[in-house]
Amino acid sequence: MSWAGYLLEALAVAFVAVIGVVTLVALVLFIIDRTQTEDAIRRNYPVLGRFRGLFSTLGEFFRQYFFAMDREELPFNRAQREWVKRAGEGHGNTVAFGSTRNLSVVGTPLFVNAAFPPLDDQFASTEPVVIGAGTRMPYTAMSIFNLSGMSYGAISKPAVQALSRGCKEAGVWMNTGEGGLSPFHLEGGCDIVFQIGTAKYGVRDDDGNLDDSKLREVAAHTQVRMFEIKLAQGAKPGKGGILPGEKITPEIAKIRGIAQGADSISPNRHAEVDDWEDLLDFIAHVREVTGKPVGIKTVVGAEEPFRDLFMAIKARGDDSAPDFITLDGGEGGTGAAPMPLIDLVGMPIREGLPLVANLRDEFGLKDRIRLVASGKLVNPGDIAWAMAAGADFVTSARGFMFALGCIQALKCNKNTCPTGITTHDPRFQKGLVVEEKYKRVARYAKEITKEVETIAHSVGVAEPRLMRRRHVRLVQPNGRSVPMNEIYPSYSATTAS
């Protein structure tokens, strides 16, 4: 027999063997699917029913890469992510031909260009702002755009390291999130906001209460410039933080002061804070112990609670006020939260920010309390809108995650993040190279500030904090746009009329 004959015979035998193996596997799967009782589709359609689960799992990835248009995806579309990617890589963010954005979507902000904008030599850099002027150690914040809270535990060691170094290079502050202060936050040399969550990780005693001695230890770090008492988070108001047990390494357990091996679930609120009076006492205590500015992070649900807060402040005196208030929108993100809270609870930042800014101004606290806006604000237009609406600063977490390389795989609540950002699996972490990613973080932050200043100049003011609501128009259901100050009049405009 010729070599060709031997080859054909071998191929025939291999083919029969493959067919036999496939048939055997199919038979085994048929029996398994027919006899199992958990999945009705697989029970009624053995083997074939398995493809439904496979396609459902792969569906989000196919939609992301092949089917969704640039402006269609949620929570962030491709156009938003690509802007961050180009900014982080240092590539130009100019585009050609025309905008792909649908400008008829209700709520779309349109900035009002000035007939005679400032000349090139009339522009001004964004001015630094002092927070907590009455404290023993006030903080002069240099940047309007900063890093929101992401704890070590929710994100990985290399992610924290890259963010710390990038924030230092860009001159922005870094919020620790509620997971405590790690050496990796400090190693980059950036300014740090220490967040005190409801579990008081990093500053708690064995019973979970605030430990003043540990609080002083944290405050002794010169890089720690402010403290933020977390009352609520946009993605899960009324629910404490959730860190799955598989993400709690021995190191994370030590930093947080918790046991390893079980899910770490924070209380839904601070046990010692039952009302606004208790909160003002708590703020005063932390400020006295640390000597540094102290603020709160919360979510707007309605006007009345904030009016009650400001009334309590005025009754005590302006010195009792928090030095800043971070407002998170109901659209804010998280690593893990129940879907009803993510979808349904909390006012969006675009409604809540103007409301609280008006109340603050009504009670004469504009120069006393700085407002920090957060919640799905990642591109220059988002930040410019917030500044016009009344924010003194804007913070972002997911924008910086995109700068690190996040691909929106939606696996933050698992230990399988493919980019190494929200996982503690060394296999995935090796993909996040700190020496490369920190540069992207810095470039992203700098590009945001640069382009927000560009928008400010376009509307006719020298720098972003001079933008007002009259500089923005919001698209309405009838297709027309209306000045934002007509929909959300500022307190000064309300009193004047």
Per-residue confidence in pLDDT tens, the chain, 497 aa: 567 766 777 777 787 788 888 888 888 888 888 888 777 777 777 888 777 776 666 656 655 655 555 555 666 666 777 777 777 877 766 766 667 677 778 888 999 999 988 887 777 677 899 999 999 999 999 999 999 999 988 888 999 999 999 999 999 999 999 989 999 999 999 999 999 999 999 999 988 899 999 999 999 999 999 999 999 876 667 667 777 777 788 888 888 888 787 777 788 889 899 999 999 999 999 999 999 999 999 999 999 999 999 999 999 999 999 999 999 987 766 656 666 666 667 788 999 999 999 999 999 999 999 999 998 898 999 999 999 999 999 999 888 988 888 877 777 777 778 888 888 888 888 888 899 889 999 999 999 999 999 999 999 998 999 999 999 999 999 989 999 999 999 887 555 44
Tell me if 97 is assigned to some domain: no
Report yes or no on 54 lying in a domain: yes
How many degrees, rounded to 5, is the angle at CA 204 between CA 198 and CA 209?
65
Query: In the chain, how many domains are there?
Result: 2
Whole-number pLDDT of residue 376: 85
DSSP per position, 185-248? HHTT---EEEEE-TT-TTSB-TTS-B-HHHHHHHHTSTTEEEEEEE---TTSTT---EE-GGG-
Residues 394 and 490 in one domain: yes
Q: Rounded to whole angstroms, how far apart are CA atoms 458 and 349?
A: 24
How far, rounded to the nearest angstrom, does the alpha carbon of residue 94 sit from its chain's CA centroid?
Answer: 25
Domain CATH code at residue 351: 3.20.20.70
Q: Determine, yes or no, domain membership for 416.
A: yes
Question: Do 63 and 125 belong together in one domain?
Answer: no
Where is the domain boundary, 67, 90, 109? Answer: 67
Residue 269 lies in a domain: yes
Residue 490: per-residue pLDDT: 87
pLDDT at residue 102, rounded to an integer:
74
Residue 105 lies in a domain: no
Distance CA 400, CA 414 (A): 19
Q: What is the pTM of this model?
A: 0.84
The pLDDT value recorded for residue 491 is 82
Q: Which of 51, 67, 83 is the last residue of a domain?
A: 67
Q: Specify the pLDDT at position 322.
A: 98
| pLDDT for the residue 228 | 98
**pLDDT reported for residue 65:** 56
- 201 and 334, same structural domain? yes
Tell which of 49, 67, 85 closes a domain: 67
Q: Is residue 107 part of a domain?
A: no
Q: Which residues contact 482 (CB under 8 A, 6 or more apart)?
A: 473, 474, 476
Verify that 146 and 255 share a domain, yes or no.
yes
Does one domain contain both 343 and 463?
Answer: yes
Dihedral over Cα of 67, 73, 76, 82: its sign? positive
Are both 381 and 304 inside the same structural domain? yes
- Residue 331 in tokens: 């659209």
Same domain, 63 and 163: no
Which residues constitute the domain of residue 274?
A: 120-496
Verify that 28 and 169 share a domain, yes or no. Answer: no
CA torsion sign for 255, 258, 259, 265 is: negative
Do residue 231 and residue 133 come from a single domain?
A: yes
Rounded Cα gap, residues 64 and 45, in angstroms: 29
C-alpha to C-alpha distance for 321 and 318, rounded to whole angstroms? 6
Beta carbons within 8 Å of 203's beta carbon, 6+ residues apart = 180, 196, 210, 211, 214, 215, 218
Are β-strands 139-141 and 129-131 bridged in parallel, bridged antiparallel, or unpaired?
A: antiparallel
Please give the pLDDT value at position 497: 40
For residue 109, tell me if it sits in a domain: no
Domain membership flag for residue 73? no
